[in-house]
C-alpha cells in the first residue's frame, strides 16, 4: 500500500509543468520583437528626417518678405542689406543671433530684434537708432557720438541744438571713455547765469587735455573726467567777487587736479 501511494505521488509531482516550461517563448518570438523595434525606430527616423527636410530644405516655409521697422531711408536699407536674409531662404535657417551681429556692424544702430512670422513667412527687423548727444569736429569732418561715447556717424550739418567739441584727431580714433567724458562735461555744465557768461566750445588737445573759456575767463579742465566735481569747484570760484569773467582782466581757473585747483589773474587787493 505504501509503495503504491508513493508511486501515485511521484506521478502527480512529475506531471506538473516547471515555471520555465510555462514561460518559455515559442521559437521565432524574439526575432519578431526585434523586427518591430527596428521598424519603429526606422519610422521615427523617417519622421524626424521628413520634418528636418520640411522646415530646413523644402520650399514650404521660406522667407517671402523682409521688413524693417524703427528706422527709415538709407539706414533702413543698410539694415536690410547687412541682415543678408534673401527671399526664398527657409525660415528655420534664419539665425537671429547672426543676423543681429551683421546688422550691428552699422554703428548707427544701437540694437535690433529679429522676429520670424511662420504664418505670413515674414522676417521683421526692429532696429533702434543711436541718439546723438555730442558733435565732434576735426578739420573739415563732423561726427556724432551717443551718450555712451560711441562715435557712430559722419554728418554734414548736425543739429545746432547739440553741444560740440573740437578734437585734434579723427573722432573715430578717440577712446569711448574720452568721448563719454566730453559728453558728461556738457551734460553737467552750469547755466550761463551761474558762470556769468557764455561757455565756448571746449577744445581737446593732442595730450588729451580740455580747455574752454567763459568770456575773459579761461578754464583748464584737464582730462575729461570728474565732471560734476570740477563744475562744482568752478561754480564756487566764479561766485567770488575776485573772479569776474566780465571784468576785463584775463583770469584762469585750472581744475585739471580738482583736489588742488589753481586760480591766476586775481587782482591784488588795494593797499591801505
pLDDT, mean over the chain = 86
Domain limits for position 220 = 188-265
Q: For residue 219, is it within any domain?
A: yes
Name beta bridge partners: 134: 145
pLDDT at position 57 is 54
Mean of the pLDDT values across residues 252-271? Answer: 88
Does 221 share its domain with 250? yes
Q: Give pLDDT tens digits for 243-261.
A: 999 988 899 999 999 999 9
pLDDT digits (tens, 9 = 90+) for 114-165: 999 989 999 999 999 999 999 999 998 999 999 999 999 999 999 999 999 9
Helix/strand/coil for 236 = helix
CATH number at residue 84: 3.10.20.310
Residue 51 belongs to some domain of the structure: no
> Do residues 171 and 236 both lie within one domain?
no
175 found inside a domain:
yes
Lowest mean pLDDT among 9-13, 28-32, 262-266: 9-13
Share of the chain above pLDDT 90, in %: 69
Task: Give the least confident one: 24-38, 62-76, 247-261.
Answer: 24-38
Instruction: Provide the pLDDT confidence category of residue 56 given band limits of 50, 70 and 90.
Output: low
136 in the same domain as 161: yes
Strand order, beta sheet including 210-214: 151-154, 141-145, 134-138, 164-166, 203-204, 210-214, 217-222, 251-254, 262-264
Contact 52, 107 (CB under 8 A): no
Beta strands 164-166; 151-154: pairing state: unpaired
Check whether residue 120 and residue 155 sit in a common domain: no
The yes-or-no verdict on residue 28 having pLDDT over 70 is no
**182 and 250 fall within a common domain:** no
Same domain, 261 and 193: yes
Domain membership of residue 95 (yes or no) is yes
The reply to whether 19 falls in a domain is no
Domain count, the chain: 3
**Whether the predicted model's global pTM rises above the 0.85 cut:** no
Residue 28 forms part of a structural domain: no
| pLDDT tier, 60 (very low <50, low <70, confident <90, very high otherwise) | low
List, edge to edge, every strand of the sheet that includes 122-129. Answer: 65-69, 122-129, 109-117
User: Has residue 25 got a pLDDT over 90?
Assistant: no
Amino acid at each position: 500500500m505504501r509503495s503504491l501511494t508513493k508511486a501515485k505521488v511521484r506521478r502527480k509531482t512529475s506531471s506538473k509543468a516547471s515555471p520555465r516550461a510555462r514561460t518559455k517563448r515559442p521559437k521565432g518570438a524574439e526575432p519578431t520583437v526585434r523586427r518591430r523595434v527596428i521598424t519603429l525606430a526606422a519610422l521615427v527616423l523617417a519622421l524626424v528626417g521628413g520634418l528636418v527636410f520640411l522646415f530646413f530644405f523644402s520650399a514650404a516655409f521660406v522667407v517671402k518678405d523682409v521688413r524693417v521697422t524703427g528706422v527709415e531711408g538709407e539706414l533702413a536699407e543698410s539694415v536690410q542689406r547687412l541682415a543678408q536674409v534673401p527671399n526664398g531662404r527657409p525660415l528655420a535657417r534664419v539665425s537671429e543671433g547672426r543676423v543681429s551681429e551683421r546688422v550691428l556692424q552699422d554703428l548707427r544702430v544701437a540694437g535690433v530684434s529679429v522676429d520670424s512670422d511662420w504664418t505670413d513667412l515674414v522676417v521683421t527687423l526692429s532696429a533702434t537708432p543711436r541718439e546723438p548727444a555730442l558733435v565732434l569736429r576735426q578739420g573739415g569732418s563732423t561726427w556724432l557720438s551717443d551718450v555712451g561715447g560711441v562715435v557712430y556717424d559722419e554728418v554734414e550739418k548736425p543739429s545746432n541744438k547739440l553741444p560740440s567739441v573740437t578734437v585734434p584727431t579723427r573722432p573715430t580714433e578717440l577712446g569711448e571713455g574720452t568721448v563719454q567724458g566730453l559728453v558728461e562735461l556738457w551734460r553737467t555744465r552750469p547755466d550761463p547765469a551761474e558762470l556769468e557768461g557764455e561757455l565756448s566750445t571746449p577744445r581737446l588737445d593732442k595730450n588729451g587735455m580740455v580747455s574752454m573759456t567763459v568770456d575773459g575767463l579761461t578754464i583748464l579742465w584737464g582730462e575729461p573726467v570728474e565732471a560734476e566735481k570740477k563744475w562744482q569747484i568752478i561754480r564756487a570760484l566764479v561766485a567770488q567777487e575776485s573772479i569776474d569773467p566780465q571784468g576785463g582782466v584775463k583770469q584762469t581757473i585750472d581744475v585739471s587736479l580738482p583736489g588742488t585747483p589753481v586760480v591766476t589773474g586775481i587782482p591784488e587787493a588795494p593797499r591801505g
